[in-house]
Chain A
Amino acid sequence: MSLLLSKVNVYGEAAKDILVNGGEIVEIKSPGAISKADKVLDCTNKVLLPGLVDLHTHLRQPGREDAETILSGARAATRGGYTAVHAMANTDPVADSAGVVEQVFGLGEDTQLVSVYPVGAVTVELAGKQLAELKAMADSKAQVRIFSDDGKCVEDSVIMRRALEYVKAFDGVIAQHAQEGRLTLNAQMNESALSSTLGLTGWPNVAEEAIVARDILLCELVNSRLHICHASTRGTVELLKRAKEKKINVTAEVTPHHLLLDEEYVKGYDPVFKVNPPLRHLDDVISLRNALAEGIIDVVATDHAPHPKEDKETEWAAAAFGMLGLENALSVVSTVMVHGQNFSWRDVARVMSEKPAEIGRKPEHGQKISEGARANLCLVDPEVEFIVNAGTSVSLSRNNPYQGMKFKGKPVATIFKGNLTYQEGGN
């Protein structure tokens, strides 16, 4: 079946007609030049981007199917304009073997909605003691290239060094959740004047930066690839900047929530704002935005972390860490970066699709929009303003920190392997 995207602004630039057929972009012509197609989408004033790629998604399956399943997470991803997600390893059982990653990969394939690429655990059971069988996961059907103990930090310097060395054999990357454990014992929020008045145990910036600094040095030592998950502090930005100036092979992601929200939201103790790493000071938020704009931070990754109601409807200290992200990530980036600072839609394509696909070594995603390219695409209404209603989510969970907030710009259709996987307001 052929699909015509008529008068679409490719990367927010000149309008074109784009014909999709057989999972590929077959023709790109001037508006009105293509007339024949089985289905036509009028894309006037819409922006076309390559399908978004998330490097950091918690799909909860296997183990916590009450919070999210691979299918419900895939649906949420299509709503957010994603055509690929990387499923984090902290499931139950942990994705630390070829068997588990193949199971997750297979369930992802079954959805036919997005590519689900499992992230493999760095260490057995995420325990930080013994390397998981990284090569077996890399060689499996899932073709794992990103390894992470996310949720936990690989704290042992020797284990981290060995992991960085070992993945060089198959062009892997270690994605580090940078959190020094002793400095963050029982931590509940950003350490600051506010944590002092709220009486909540603080998570100081240095607990992230100390690990980032060490890992950059280890990465340089063994000449491997390091990725920093959910960078959250201005000190991390400085470390990344210096590392990139020295051409060390380190990349980093920032979450939508760390780009938008600051620690002030913790006032009132609503656990929907409880997340790890915590919401930081406004100075950190501004630094992260600038770092994304300057390319010091490479990608936006959601850290989509679904939790059932009972794990969030509690006292702050008893609540789970994490927030939803897939469905609203693009709207946050559109609002904060495109409308909020000098950030183009080409930049959005870079940080939400091209670079993530490159880091994950998934060349079938994040391709330039051109004839012959895979038809993994995301269509955006750049100007529409709307109020977030968490109740309409297709995720199984409702821990959406953006409830009631007004955003400008959102995905209106998603195309995966040439098929419409999401279209706003119907099929």
Chain B
Amino acid sequence: MKHLYSINNLSKSEAISILDTAKSMAEVGGKAVKKLPTLLGRTVVNLFFEDSTRTRISFEAAAKRLSADVITFSAKGSSVSKGENLKDTAQTLEAIGADAVVIRHWASGAAETLAQSNWINAKVINAGDGTHEHPTQALLDAFTLRESLAPNQKDLSGLKIGIVGDILHSRVARSNVLLLNLLNAQCVLIAPPTLLPIGIENWNCQYSYDLDSQLAELDAVMMLRVQQERMNAAFFPSTREYSRDFGLNSTRLSQMKPQSLVLHPGPMNRGMEITAEVADSNQSVIRSQVTNGVSVRMSVLYHLLSGDAA
């Protein structure tokens, strides 16, 4: 693995190896001194063309726990005016001596463009590109699922995971479909037809327009955030109707298997796609996802950077 801009960069054994290393990394988080010297003297740049406090602080914590120097470069540009030019930014980071660039961008493909360009030699980690992919989110989701539901397995075979909500615009869903397949889990995408991508019939997963019909089968359900801007763009008639059919409430939770899990990549719209009762229930692992996010990102940084000569 030279870069991580897509789950397609990973073989099954590499993905499992990242999860295994993340487990060791998680132990660091439980210690009084939460630090390893692994990446001492290395520079990790968080390059954010789009705001995301959660993802940024998660990567920041991960890099710091491995003793890397962390620089945050916030280059917010709108999609219309180009704002900060990606090439210039990349070359600036190269000149500063970045070893890894964690990039978050509003444009699909920006991480791949950066990785495949000759603008920079640093390792590129995709922290979310447009509506394309968010591979570390999928890895932390898989880690969370494996810890809770399949602790004695390497992969996720035997599990069936539902992903509910705005699949059309979700980079989390795209990365999860790829990774769940790689790890032999079954996957079903659940949304109104307007929020399922064209060509979904040929994706390597099932899909359904009816959440209720799926609940009894699922070992875990990932609830996706419904973005504010979708709410007025005719993807569904009203937030109430959406919530009625696709919101996860206590009644729906009770129809799932007793050990089943509820995941959400955050931030949640409580009362919209998920009720407060469900978010705070015993089956919710939403806060564990945040904790695991740090361990998984430590593992990714370790795998990308520790192989190099310092």
Residue of B nearest to A186 (CB): B79
Contact with A along B78-103 (1 / 0, CB 8 A): 01001001110000000000000000
The CA of A196 and the CA of B204, in the complex, are separated in Å by 13
* Residue pair B198, A315 in contact (C-beta under 8 Å): no
* Residue pair A199, B198 in contact (C-beta under 8 Å): no
B71 close to chain A: CB less than 8 A: no
Segment 23-46 of A: residues with Cβ below 8 Å from B: none
A–B complex contacts, Cβ < 8 Å, 18 sampled:
A192-B198, A192-B199, A196-B197, A196-B198, A198-B108, A199-B129, A199-B133, A200-B109, A268-B112, A310-B85, A315-B86, A316-B107, A316-B109, A317-B79, A317-B107, A317-B108, A317-B130, A318-B107
The CA of A318 and the CA of B77, in the complex, are separated in Å by 10
Residues of B at under 8 Å CB distance from A? 79, 82, 85-87, 105-110, 112-113, 116, 129-133, 168, 171, 174, 197-200, 202-203
A193 close to chain B: CB less than 8 A: yes
Q: What's the minimum C-beta distance from B287 to chain A, rounded to whole angstroms?
A: 28
Q: What's the minimum C-beta distance from B252 to chain A, rounded to whole angstroms?
A: 27
Q: A192-B199, A196-B197, A269-B112 are in contact. List 9 more A-B contacts (CB 8 A).
A: A193-B199, A196-B198, A198-B132, A199-B130, A199-B171, A199-B174, A200-B131, A314-B82, A316-B107
The 4 closest A-B pairs by CB, nearest first: A193-B199, A199-B132, A269-B109, A196-B197
* Residue pair A199, B82 in contact (C-beta under 8 Å): no
* Residue pair B174, A315 in contact (C-beta under 8 Å): no
Residues of chain A lying within 8 A (CB to CB) of residue B110: 315-316
Q: What's the minimum C-beta distance from A269 to chain B, rounded to whole angstroms?
A: 3
The CA of A310 and the CA of B109, in the complex, are separated in Å by 17
Given A196-B198, A199-B109, A199-B132, A314:B116 Cβ within 8 A: no
A118 close to chain B: CB less than 8 A: no
Q: What's the minimum C-beta distance from B264 to chain A, rounded to whole angstroms?
A: 20
A191 close to chain B: CB less than 8 A: yes
Q: What's the minimum C-beta distance from B205 to chain A, rounded to whole angstroms?
A: 12
* Residue pair A315, B113 in contact (C-beta under 8 Å): yes
Among B79, B116, B171, B197, the one with the most A-chain Cβ atoms within 10 Å of its Cβ is B197
Given A198-B132, A199-B132, A269-B113, A316:B198 Cβ within 8 A: no
* Residue pair B202, A193 in contact (C-beta under 8 Å): yes
* Residue pair A268, B132 in contact (C-beta under 8 Å): no
Q: What's the minimum C-beta distance from A278 to chain B, rounded to whole angstroms?
A: 14
Residue of A nearest to B131 (CB): A199
Residue of A nearest to B105 (CB): A315
Residues of chain B lying within 8 A (CB to CB) of residue A186: 79
Q: What's the minimum C-beta distance from B256 to chain A, rounded to whole angstroms?
A: 28
The CA of A48 and the CA of B108, in the complex, are separated in Å by 47
Residue of B nearest to A314 (CB): B86
* Residue pair A318, B174 in contact (C-beta under 8 Å): no
A195 close to chain B: CB less than 8 A: yes
* Residue pair A316, B199 in contact (C-beta under 8 Å): no
The CA of A126 and the CA of B226, in the complex, are separated in Å by 37
Contact with B along A244-273 (1 / 0, CB 8 A): 000000000000000000000000110000
* Residue pair B109, A314 in contact (C-beta under 8 Å): no
Segment 291-334 of A: residues with Cβ below 8 Å from B: 310, 313-318
The CA of A222 and the CA of B244, in the complex, are separated in Å by 51
Q: What's the minimum C-beta distance from A411 to chain B, rounded to whole angstroms?
A: 34
The CA of A269 and the CA of B116, in the complex, are separated in Å by 10
Q: What's the minimum C-beta distance from B181 to chain A, rounded to whole angstroms?
A: 13
Among A191, A268, A313, A317, the one with the most B-chain Cβ atoms within 10 Å of its Cβ is A317
A392 close to chain B: CB less than 8 A: no
Q: What's the minimum C-beta distance from A274 to chain B, rounded to whole angstroms?
A: 11
